[in-house]
Amino acid sequence: MPNFDAGHYFLTVLVPIRPNSILINGQSQSHAHLLKEALALMPLGECASISPTTARDDLIASPFTRTTRTHFARAVVLDDVVFNGRKSCDSLISTILRINPLAPQKVDSLTTPFLILAVDFDAASGDDSVLRDYLTALWESMGPELVNLFQHCVSFDNITAADDFYRYIKRCQIETTMPFNDYWSVTPALTDFRFTPYLIAAGVALLVLVAGLFMSGWMVLLGLLAIVVTVVVGVMAITAKGKEPFPVSPPPGPAPDLPTVLKALALQRNFTAFVIANQGQDDQALHAAFGGFLAGNQPNDTRTATQPPGVIGV
């Protein structure tokens, strides 16, 4: 399932922006411009020096951090598609086919700007019920901010509740065909695709076809039909195998959920500081210091001594 992989849902939304303009203080403003302003003013993930001695509490985090399931959220206005240049062609082939290299080629263009929203969040599966649950939590935690963005999009006028927002996003969702996940702590337990049954079936079908050339015409048809069925079933099986989501790292590997990832980042940073601070200690002192480190950091508790969401620790 392309939208779901290794415990994460990869939501990609393409929403058309209103093409008209509105008057603000006597000046005409396009919805695309106003949406860009709203995105620019939205708090983002900020870098901070977070350590036992330099913690900060004054950072304004992104509203997406109000849920504990959002790993990444990206929003951008797409004004138009990029022109990658003319389609190249071999000069000899162009001469033979009489292709005029100066003749203009079709250039793709959007009829209206689009808002692209891409969100990676924790999920148990790729079912619509999981997406609905997440979008409901998102609406309840940052509804005003969402309205401030999507009010510039087409057909958002009557969106007033979480269910309305889910249906709106579902209408604008596109399939995420290449999700990226780098949270495996151990090698995923993947299984190979078994080609042997399909090769055997194809071989038998080929033998029937060859035998039919010397014995009977109906055997030729049977062999051809068997080859076609084998190829079709094989391609369908390979496609289904390719759509299977990667598994989550099995125990004792840590889970890929956001609280665990944030805790791991905090432990990594704090343990680095611990190692630097305790260079040259004797065994007794090091043992006592490490006991204090464990007591202060609580490695098995993701709720304490962790990195705040929406903050990039350095």
Read off the pLDDT of residues 175-191 as tens digits, 9 standing for 90 and up.
Answer: 988 777 767 666 767 77
Mean pLDDT in residue range 208-215: 79
Return the pLDDT at 252.
Answer: 67
DSSP letter assigned to residue 263: H
Question: Which segment, 20-34, 221-235, 287-301, is predicted with the most confidence on average?
Answer: 287-301
CB-CB contact of 286 with 67 (8 Å): no
Confidence of residue 1 (pLDDT cuts 50, 70, 90): low
- Rounded to whole angstroms, the Cα distance separating 147 from 72 reads 20
Report the sign of the C-alpha dihedral through residues 302, 303, 306, 310, in that order.
positive
Listed range (11-15, 62-66, 88-92, 293-297) with the worst mean pLDDT: 88-92
Q: What is the mean pLDDT of the chain?
A: 85
Read off the pLDDT of residues 42-56 as tens digits, 9 standing for 90 and up.
Answer: 887 665 555 444 445
> Does 221 or 288 have the greater pLDDT score?
288
% of the chain beyond a pLDDT of 70: 91
Confidence of residue 161 (pLDDT cuts 50, 70, 90): very high
Residue 298, SS3? coil
Return the pLDDT at 53.
Answer: 46
Domain definitions of the chain by residue range? 4-174, 196-242, 258-313
| Position 230 pLDDT exceeds 70 | yes
Pairing of β 70-78 and β 114-122: antiparallel
Return the pLDDT at 309.
Answer: 84
Return the pLDDT at 37.
Answer: 93
pTM score of the predicted model: 0.76
Q: Is 127 exposed, middle or buried (0-12, 13-18, 19+ CB in 10 A)?
A: middle
